[in-house]
Amino acid sequence: MNKDEVMETEEFLCRSVLYVPGSKPRSLEKCLTLAADVIILDLEDSVLPSEKVSARRAICEFLKDAQFGRKKCFVRINDLSSEWGVDDLHVVCSLKIDAVVVPKVEESNVIKFVSSVLDAKLKDSKIKIWAMIETPLGVVNSLEIAAAPKMQGFVLGTNDLAKELKSRSRKSLGVSLQNCLLSARSHYIMCVDGVYNKFKDLDGLLLECEEGRDIGFDGKSLLHPAQIPIANKSFGLSDQEIKNAKEQILAFEKVKSLGQGVAVLDGKIIENLHVLEAEEVLRKELRIKAMEN
């Protein structure tokens, strides 16, 4: 993605990105009522091998009439090296979805292949691609992956990454997480943090969401609907953040009208870059309000 396409990315939220197993009809129906920003209909990890084909059919049938409103709908296919992956890809190309999520991406050629299939199946396809970065090689090659055609975002697969790295704590993943975030931001794509496995431990989830937010992630991938409110709040905006943004803009506009380029607010210097950040806060506020209505 280039700078000219940034505004398109900014127009939707991904504070909460919920995986929904394609093999569970009740979960498919329920997801339409949930407050997640993004729903990922899953054909991979949450679906048993014996149910892969039937789950694919179930998702196809579900999407014929499903109405997601302002939520985005993605489908995670199986690894392209598996016996189901390529068939998954060919099927989802014709579905009413916003993006296809490709697991275990380790090189940009995988994304180029997916992009070519999308174009071949549907001319001028508007379906975007999200890559799961969940191996050391994927992290190392994340910069070139981020630059590949139709890329819109990364989802971090922290469970697999920790396993591959033989890491025993989230702290030890810090370099990998930040490397992926740097790659994503270098090519103006979004980046979503990995899942928190203890879905009943909401206090632990809150801490990890706040940590991910402070690192710079756009949101959190989730395993259970109960996790949605915490992710939305953590990656949302506080009243104080909104108030500060409005005050910064007003302070800068005042000095600008006097021919000056720097304002001072509560003892802090306010320059144009702070105004741009404040304007983005207010745009995000509008998007959040739109999701809640």
Question: What pLDDT does 118 receive?
Answer: 94
Question: What pLDDT does 6 receive?
Answer: 46
In this prediction, residue 8 has a pLDDT band, given cuts at 50, 70 and 90, of very low
Angular region, 237: left φ>0, alpha ψ -120 to 50, beta rest: beta
Residue labelled with tokens 């402070």 = 214
Q: How much is the mean pLDDT over the chain?
A: 93
Q: pLDDT by residue (tens digit) across 139-181?
A: 999 999 999 999 999 999 999 999 999 999 999 999 999 999 9
In this prediction, residue 7 has a pLDDT band, given cuts at 50, 70 and 90, of very low
Question: What pLDDT does 184 receive?
Answer: 98
Question: What pLDDT does 2 receive?
Answer: 52
Interval 2-9 mean pLDDT: 48
**To the nearest 10°, the Cα dihedral for 21, 27, 33, 34?**
-50
Q: pLDDT by residue (tens digit) across 30-39?
A: 999 999 999 9
Q: pLDDT by residue (tens digit) across 178-222?
A: 999 999 999 999 999 999 999 999 999 999 999 999 999 999 999
Question: What pLDDT does 122 receive?
Answer: 76
| Options 3.40.50.720, 1.20.58.220, 3.20.20.60, 3.40.630.10; CATH of 3-234 | 3.20.20.60
Domain boundaries, the chain: 3-234, 239-292
How many percent of the chain have pLDDT more than 70?
A: 96
